[in-house]
Amino acid sequence: MVSLVLAGALTVPIILNADALLRLAGGAEDVTRTAVPYMQVGMLALVPGVLGWIFSGALRSLGHARTPLVVTSFTVVVESLAAYGLVFGVGPLPELGVVGAAWALVLANTLKAVLLAYQVFGPRHLAALQFPGRAALRAIAGPLIALSAPLAFTEFVWSLGNFMYAAVFARVGTVALAASQIVATLEGIFIVGSFGLMSAATVFIGRSLGQGDAAGARLWLARISRAGLVTGLGFGALFALSALTVPGLFPKVGAAVQHIALIGILINASTQIFKVRNMIVGGGILPSAGDGKGIILGDVVGAFVIGLPLAIWLGLYTPLGVWGVFIARGLEEIVKVGIFEWRRRRVDWEKLALEQSRAA
């Protein structure tokens, strides 16, 4: 309910002010003209997208982690086919250009939300769809705000940081902006090999703490940390090798964009192990330990004290240019690792397990 209200409240003003928001990024006029209708349509995917995230989390917490995997895989295929058809006008589908990809996103998110809702509330009866009474709302409100507010703020900081990095790339030049998006797209493919560890940390460590099992929480911490090291190194290496595919995957962007993307991939791949560690600790372990302040501290200091100021200085005022922006993003991840690890070492697992088991 809370997510629907917030997502709905954000959707309308962003659609109405898409042009002003995108102009803040400082992109070229033709880029902004193309981006505005894409953003306006794409925002329609926010409400069903939020519902999909909630149902996925509910299913994982209920021990049905495979269901979101299957549904997500299916809807990704649907989105890819729909995007290709709507962008280029394949068969009976209209040729909508870039906006067609946004409509495909709306379709995929809506389909995902419907399928996952059916799995939660349908014949499997994993949860009951009912409006909570006043007493239940009062009991839920405090813990919900205490847990979700720091995470929501963290996501806001992360998104704002990404927007500002894009603005810096845009001010370096349209070529730099295009190359950065290629790097981000390819990185997203390989980072998902470690992304599930963040949810695993939240579920397994949180479950152990709720049972009063501090030793179990520490054991899951060690297991997930080892898995993060392996996947961070392995998928980071594959990400680096993906630089060789840039000319084949993006043949029309030009040699300058391809060259920047290639070097950018190598820079980002060298810091992927730090990014994975931050996902596990900042996105899974610290939330399970209730350390919202640590999460906010790492994200704010990493992005707005270290990363972005360095990106502006190196990217716009030194000969490094676009390379300086990539380097600054990598240094941000390294700083965040230090902060998150410091906060993790301060956790008293025995005390936390006792408190959470009593609450449960």
Q: What is the DSSP string of 6-26?
A: HHHHHHHHHHHTHHHHHHHTT
Within 10 angstroms of residue 267's Cβ, the number of other Cβ atoms is 16
**Span 312-338, mean pLDDT?**
92
Is residue 148 scored above 90 in pLDDT?
no
8 A C-beta contact, residue 68 and residue 59: yes
Q: pLDDT tens for residues 248-277?
A: 999 888 899 999 999 999 999 999 999 999
* pLDDT of amino acid 182: 93
Is residue 360 scored above 70 in pLDDT?
no
* Four-CA torsion 118, 122, 127, 132, nearest 10 degrees: 80
Whole-angstrom Cα distance, residue 147 to residue 130? 23
Of the candidates 175, 328, 179, 330, the one whose C-alpha atom is nearest the C-alpha of residue 247 is 179
Is residue 122 scored above 80 in pLDDT?
yes
8 A C-beta contact, residue 111 and residue 75: yes
8 A C-beta contact, residue 116 and residue 56: yes
Those residues whose C-beta lies under 8 Å from the C-beta of residue 236, and which sit 6 or more positions away, are: 190, 269, 270, 272, 273, 276
Whole-angstrom Cα distance, residue 213 to residue 131? 33
Whole-angstrom Cα distance, residue 240 to residue 341? 26
Band (pLDDT 50/70/90 cuts) for residue 306 is: very high
* pLDDT of amino acid 130: 78
**Span 68-76, mean pLDDT?**
91
pTM for the full predicted model? 0.75
Q: pLDDT tens for residues 19-48?
A: 888 887 777 788 888 889 999 999 999 999
Q: What is the mean pLDDT of the chain?
A: 88
* pLDDT of amino acid 132: 74
Residue 17's identity, in one-letter code, is: N
Q: pLDDT tens for residues 194-213?
A: 777 887 888 888 888 888 88
Those residues whose C-beta lies under 8 Å from the C-beta of residue 244, and which sit 6 or more positions away, are: none
**Span 225-237, mean pLDDT?**
91
* pLDDT of amino acid 118: 93
Share of the chain above pLDDT 70, in %: 98
Whole-angstrom Cα distance, residue 273 to residue 228? 8
Residue with more model confidence, 9 or 196: 9
* pLDDT of amino acid 43: 94
Share of the chain above pLDDT 90, in %: 44
Token look-up 């390379």 returns 323
**Span 107-128, mean pLDDT?**
91
* pLDDT of amino acid 333: 93
Whole-angstrom Cα distance, residue 30 to residue 325? 23
Helix (H) or strand (E) holding 65, with range, is none
